[in-house]
Amino acid sequence: MSESETHTPEFESVLYEVRDGVAVITVNRPKKLNALNAPTISELMEAFFIARDDDAVGAVVLTGAGEKAFVAGADIGELAGQTPIDGRRVARRGQMVFELIENLGKATVAAINGYALGGGLELAMAATMRVAAKGARVGLPESTLGLIPGYGGTQRLPRLVGRGRALQMILTGEPIDADEAYRIGLVNEVFAPAELLDGAIALAKKTTRVGPLAVRYGIEAVSRGSETSLEEGLRIEADLFAILCASEDMREGTTAFLEKRKAEFKGK
Ligand code: COA
């Protein structure tokens, strides 16, 4: 067991463990269907910093405790008493955590084990990939509360599934099930509930067998490139490609191929 596997930080509402080089981060408020209150958001941020900075962690799986929910949204109890000033601060803080997840430099897989609503779906959309349990329901019901999504939902959903379907989900507030989410490209795979976590870990693990810098720059190229023109995006791709040409990993990967052996990447 490596040092990182013995290091399990203690949080109130988040569980953190490392399984075979994959950090499994679990939102753990099952009695409130893992709704995201302010302390949980802070703990999630802390957990993702730990995963980012631990060299023994190659990828991350994010899930929810219990059988019913991944995350049933932002905590409506907290939302109800919010002033506009609070609302802006809370939304910006949540957005910051989600940006951390999106640009972690390691692949993150959201294992959607039940309801992923509002902030829950927005959290899952910040991950690199999503897998869902058959029967899970995902949606952005904020409009039923007289709100719009505030953790990036209006921005990330149309980028993943296109404007029409995104606006349908945002303006009706109606959730869709895992099979429909798969059909429109919102989730990458659907598993039987008992197989979801292993399936998510296996998918995350696949990204740890390739060059770690290739994963980091692959995420960056797609993330930054999708926010700009094709011409600018191609320049970003060429610049990151050029940096990788100077890496030990690139030399190791190409040499190993030519020597017909398995590459041993160091992330350098
Ligand atoms: N914030 C705070 N508490 C929440 C919550 C949320 N987003 N979602 C669920 N909970 C709490 C419920 O209030 C309830 O608490 P209680 O037992 O103290 O009364 C507990 O979690 C269980 O939820 P409950 O509604 O009884 O479960 P259900 O199976 O009947 O319904 C849902 C499940 C997901 C359909 C329903 O909880 C729901 O609609 N939640 C809100 C979803 C939402 O609008 N999210 C977006 C927020 S921006």
* Alpha carbon of 72 to ligand 1 centroid (Å): 6
Residue nearest to atom 22 of ligand 1 (CA): 32
Q: Which ligand 1 atom lies nearest to the CA of residue 173? A: 44
Same structural domain for residues 50 and 133? yes
Same structural domain for residues 107 and 218? no
Taking the chain (268 residues) in consecutive chunks of 10 residues, what is each chunk's mean pLDDT?
Answer: 56 95 97 95 96 96 97 91 87 90 97 97 98 98 93 95 98 98 98 98 97 96 94 97 96 95 93
In a domain, 46, yes or no: yes
Same structural domain for residues 100 and 82? yes
Same structural domain for residues 244 and 169? no
Number of domains in the chain: 2
Same structural domain for residues 9 and 135? yes
Rounded distance between C-alpha atoms, residue 254 and residue 144, angstroms: 54
Rounded distance between C-alpha atoms, residue 187 and residue 161, angstroms: 10
Same structural domain for residues 189 and 218? no
In a domain, 114, yes or no: yes
In a domain, 42, yes or no: yes
Q: Which ligand 1 atom lies nearest to the CA of residue 75? A: 1
Same structural domain for residues 118 and 243? no
End position of a domain, from candidates 168, 183, 206: 206
* Alpha carbon of 192 to ligand 1 centroid (Å): 24
Of the CA atoms within 13 Å of residue 3, those in its CB half-sphere come to 3
pLDDT value at position 1?
42
Same structural domain for residues 91 and 162? yes
The string of DSSP codes covering 78-117 is: HHHT--HHHHHHHHHHHHHHHHHHHTSSSEEEEEE-SEEE
In a domain, 268, yes or no: no
User: For residue 249, what are its two tokens?
Assistant: 């990993």
Same structural domain for residues 120 and 250? no
End position of a domain, from candidates 206, 227, 248: 206
pLDDT value at position 7?
58
Q: Which residues line ligand 1 (CB under 6 A)?
A: 32-33, 35, 72-77, 115, 117-119, 141-142, 145
| Residues 105 and 57 sit within 8 Å (Cβ to Cβ) | no
* Alpha carbon of 75 to ligand 1 centroid (Å): 9
Same structural domain for residues 233 and 189? no
Same structural domain for residues 185 and 219? no
CATH number at 176 reads 3.90.226.10
Q: Spell out the residues 6+ positions from residue 90 whose beta carbon is closer than 8 angstroms to its own.
A: 38, 74, 78, 82, 150
Q: Which ligand 1 atom lies nearest to the CA of residue 69? A: 34
Residue nearest to atom 40 of ligand 1 (CA): 72
Triad 97, 4, 252: Cα angle to 5°? 90
Instruction: Give this prediction's pTM.
Output: 0.94
Q: Which ligand 1 atom lies nearest to the CA of residue 142? A: 48
Mutational test site, ligand 1, from 13, 32, 33, 154, max ligand atoms within 8 Å of CB: 33
Same structural domain for residues 157 and 201? yes
Rounded distance between C-alpha atoms, residue 137 and residue 114, angstroms: 6
Q: Domain range holding 111?
A: 3-206
pLDDT value at position 4?
45
Q: Spell out the residues 6+ positions from residue 227 whose beta carbon is closer than 8 angstroms to its own.
A: none
List the catalytic residues: 122, 142
In a domain, 148, yes or no: yes
CATH number at 225 reads 1.10.12
User: For residue 96, what are its two tokens?
Assistant: 């910051």
